[in-house]
Amino acid sequence: MDSDLQLEKSKRQANPACPKQQRTIGFKRHVLEHELEITGVISLCVLVGYCLGDPKAIKCLSLSYQVGTDQYDRGVDDYYFVAFWVVTFTFLCAVAMRFFFHPVAKLFGIKSFSKRERLAEQGRSFAYYTVFWSLGMLAKILKYLGLSLSCDIAFGLFALSWPITRHILFTSIIWATARKNAEDTRSDEEDEEKDRH
């Protein structure tokens, strides 16, 4: 039902005078509406191919170009590995948004699809940063394992990424959400005013 509302809204916004633009918007909308299914099928096909021994699927799930014990060089086959994990993480994000964050938003009484979608996107971002910020703790573990250089590199990366995500990205998200919420509230009030007249 929610996707029907979005579809109807996007149809009204599309410019019927430009069929090429309408086809492009239609394709993009179709891909976004079905990102869960598309990325899920791709990930599943790769996993099945891996189980059946397909060489390309094996490239997607294992590092190539081993040059020593726990040492790898880079090469063209690394694109398979990276692409698979991009698709798989996109699938996991779509699953979290559709089956966890959207129902939570409904539970809290948020009726508008766009507002539930915004809450789902913010919830996904929050979950992502909670998991990956906590990986900064692994730098400490590396030191206890005697891997001082790895510890220094991991801590340096964490020290660089934390202020950027905390003071730039996080505040940008908060500001954009607050501004968008104010715009939506004004728009909702204008719509209610129009409906009354």
Residues 29-48 pLDDT 10s: 887 788 899 999 999 999 99
- Least confident range from 10-24, 114-128, 183-197: namely 10-24
Does residue 4 have a pLDDT over 50? Answer: no
pTM equals 0.57
**CB contact at 8 A, 71 and 9:** no
Q: Would you list the domain boundaries of the chain?
A: 110-197
What are the pLDDT digits (tens) for 81-135? 889 998 998 899 899 989 999 998 888 888 888 888 888 888 888 887 777 766 6
Percent of all residues in the chain with a pLDDT value above 90, rounded to a whole number: 17
CA terminus-to-terminus distance, the chain: 28
CB neighbours of 136 closer than 8 A, spacing ≥ 6?
154, 155, 158, 162
- At residue 146, φ and ψ (nearest 5 deg) are 85, 15
